[in-house]
Amino acid sequence: MIKVKKSIDTLPNILKEKSTQSKHKRLLTAQKWLSSSSYKSPYQNKKLKESLKSIYNHKCAYCEQKMVFPKKNQNKSASNDLTLEHYRPKSTYYWLAYSWDNLLPVCYDCNHAKEDFFDIEGVEITEIRTNEIDNIHELASIYNSEEKPKFIHPELENLSTEFIFGKDGTVTSNNERCQYVIEKCDLKRLKLVLKRRKIIDDLKSKYQAIQTEEEFYQLAKDIKTKSINPKTEFIALYDFILANFNTIITG
């Protein structure tokens, strides 16, 4: 999990449309999430999803694996299918169902694992407040300072260096909130472990084939280049490898 910048300037048109605003008003009147497909259509909008996918460099907001749009007529979801995630679950925070900073692109497996988990250590906000009705797209930082959620918001916080990777591709953390994300999104699942392990094993092979100092610096440079390219899968892992090269690659 790494920090991603998403600006209010990228607010998709669908969220500005009158039809979306009237659905939002109806949710406020009902004081609960209404689960018919009509209420899902604004955030299931293709352009909105394309925009989120591009902002997140085609990667899952939680596990950092590359995502794809589900194929037409696909009868079973693939683990890296792009799904729309509400950081604060719409089942509780129904008034944030169309809030730009509450919408994240997340792979099918992470979304499926997380369900509606959202534990907080602060004071729960139970309804929208009058001064927030015209400002629903930038509430996350205010809400997080009051509610102190255990779950990390990828657009507000950078805790990527708190993740600890094993040589075998496993992940853990001494940070309680990172550990919470690992558990709730199941970032230890086998498919992800194997993907991360392949990166480590490939680098190990390259390291073992090195014969000159020059080749060593080239390998270090290649890892650095990967780690600063926002499109790279598992940037947090590359950063960890750079900081712990002796234990994870040469050890």
Contact residues toward Zn ion (CB under 5 A) are: 60, 62-63, 107, 110
Find the shortest distance in angstroms from Cβ 99 to Zn ion: 21
Residue (104 or 140) nearer to Zn ion, CB: 104
Find the shortest distance in angstroms from Cβ 55 to Zn ion: 16
Residue (180 or 207) nearer to Zn ion, CB: 180
Find the shortest distance in angstroms from Cβ 112 to Zn ion: 10
Residue (33 or 163) nearer to Zn ion, CB: 163
Residue (62 or 143) nearer to Zn ion, CB: 62
246 burial level (CB within 10 Å; 0-12, 13-18, 19+): exposed
Find the shortest distance in angstroms from Cβ 214 to Zn ion: 38
Determine how many CB atoms are found less than 10 A away from the CB of residue 140. 20
Residue (101 or 109) nearer to Zn ion, CB: 109
Find the shortest distance in angstroms from Cβ 41 to Zn ion: 24
189: left (phi over 0), alpha (psi -120 to 50) or beta: beta
